[in-house]
Chains A and B, each alone.
Chain A
Amino acid sequence: MLSVDIEKKIKSVKGDRILKVSGTFSQEVISGVYGNSGVGKSTLFNCLSGLSNPTKGIITHRDEIWFNKESEVNIPPQNRNIGYIFQGNSLFPHFTVKENILYAVRKEHINDLDLSSLLSQVEMEGMENRYPYQLSGGQLQRVAIARSLAQKSKLILMDEPFSALDLEIKQKLYKLIKFFKEQYELMILIITHDINDILYLCDEVLWVKEHQADGLLKKGVFKKEIESKLKLL
């Protein structure tokens, strides 16, 4: 369970805005974060991962407080153990596939890693010595997922993982994400502005409208809201 009740000042071309988000993401499900571009979805992920600090509020993961402005608690990103898959290519260009994955493995887990099995799970067997520039968009995302698994993260944040991917590759990734969620009992949060991603993958949705979101919607409720919005058009 990941609880968020934060405010964060964000700068945009239209001037400063306040992002206000509250909600509780359920454990071991796939949650979507939906909203138009520039509403603060990535800023929310940066706050969750500790890369950026909220102006005020609280973030709690399970029983651990990650951030509390009032009591000055702020767990650094290094200690939150989040698998963060950034928009676009989130692999390091100077590392091979193998090196990118190994970089994420903590010393105490290095002996547990079965690299060939991991690569085969993401259908990347035999590609461990390739560099990121030698991979397609879908392959880059699959290696990034493998890296998060090697990191032993139980919480994975994915920022627009399907943008710029064609439908076939997208569907392959959908299946892979669903499989890993079941297999490793992961909690996955996905930022997207594509309704299809939400409808196919997510069990619940945080809908950020005009920099604000209050609580998560069940997929059925989200679908109805979207349909009624489309009827109005």
Chain B
Amino acid sequence: MPDLSPIYLSLKLALLNTALLLLVGLPIAYWLSNWKSKAKIFVESLVSLPIILPPSVIGFYLLIVFSPKYLFGETLAGMGIQIPFTFSGILIASLIYSFPFMVQPIQKGFEEIPQHFWNISYTLGKSKFETLIKVIIPNVKHAILTGVILTFAHTMGEFGVILMIGGNIPGVTKVASLAIYSNLEALNYEAAHFYSIILLVISVIIIFLVNLLNSRRRKNAIR
């Protein structure tokens, strides 16, 4: 039986990353959906950047930023905080790398809400906050779920950026995708297959869930 710690580590990373990004991404997506400024296109481009940026580039710059040779990393090191080659390091890298996968679908969901939902709620005596919580967010739930599923899936499969910032330390930063790579290098195909099949099953389930959500959404739209 191969070591299960890479699977646990991948799940832990994906769950933590998804939860944190949901907390941060939801208000940012809401703000972006309402923000009317010429600068919006630049901020949106920045949010989308991790989608096209090679993971090695993100990893490389994160290593620079957190290196004790430079000011920020030095300050952190002075406080006894080490980021590269730790679980915190791969979590920070994942947060940056998966950011658009959470923000973009939720932002689109907010943008699709008709203005009259807000207006009706206001004339019914409800505040902006109450409208947001009781009317708007429930009607964006498909988009939120899509963001959650995509972020989780993306984190489960992360490789390059984790290898760069986390190395491949067993029990600390060696996630499932790195375990496949290590076992392949060591010609240990059985273990590589074991990790691969688990990731494959998780991916199939996730794709099925995304398609199920989309088909339900389309059905509701037709209604």
In the complex, A88 Cα to B129 Cα: how many Å? 25
Q: How far is the CB of B124 from chain A (nearest CB, A)?
A: 5
Q: How far is the CB of A146 from chain B (nearest CB, A)?
A: 13
Q: Which stretch from B96-104, B114-122, B152-160, B200-208 is at the chain A interface?
A: B114-122
Q: Which residues of A contact B125 (CB under 8 A)?
A: 78-79, 81, 104, 106, 151
In the complex, A86 Cα to B104 Cα: how many Å? 30
Q: Which stretch from B6-14, B65-73, B134-142, B177-185 is at the chain A interface?
A: B134-142
In the complex, are the beta carbons of B119 and A51 less than 8 A apart?
Answer: yes
Given the interface pairs A51-B119, A86-B116, the reply to whether A151 lies near B124 with Cβ below 8 Å is: yes
Residue of B with least CB distance to A81: B125
Contacts A51-B122, A77-B119, A84-B123 aside, 5 further interface pairs with beta carbons under 8 A come to: A77-B123, A78-B122, A92-B121, A92-B139, A151-B125
- A contacts, CB < 8 Å to B: 46, 49-51, 76-84, 86, 90, 92-94, 103-104, 106, 133, 147, 151
Residue of A with least CB distance to B117: A92
Q: How far is the CB of B126 from chain A (nearest CB, A)?
A: 7
In the complex, A80 Cα to B125 Cα: how many Å? 8
Q: Which of B120, B124, B138 is most buried by chain A, counting CB atoms within 10 A of its CB? A: B124
The count of A-to-B residue pairs whose CB atoms sit within 8 angstroms is 52
Interface SS, B side: helix
In the complex, A104 Cα to B223 Cα: how many Å? 24
B127 adjacent to chain A (CB < 8 Å)? yes
Q: How far is the CB of A59 from chain B (nearest CB, A)?
A: 15
B37 adjacent to chain A (CB < 8 Å)? no
Q: Which residues of A contact B45 (CB under 8 A)?
A: none
Q: Which residues of B contact A83 (CB under 8 A)?
A: 123
In the complex, are the beta carbons of A84 and B220 less than 8 A apart?
Answer: no
Residue of A with least CB distance to B116: A86
9 residue pairs, one from A and one from B, having the closest CB atoms:
A133-B223, A84-B123, A77-B122, A94-B138, A104-B124, A78-B125, A51-B119, A77-B123, A86-B116
In the complex, are the beta carbons of A93 and B220 less than 8 A apart?
Answer: yes
Q: How far is the CB of B128 from chain A (nearest CB, A)?
A: 9
Q: Which residues of B contact A80 (CB under 8 A)?
A: 123
Q: How far is the CB of A27 from chain B (nearest CB, A)?
A: 20
In the complex, are the beta carbons of B139 and A49 less than 8 A apart?
Answer: no
Residue of B with least CB distance to A99: B134
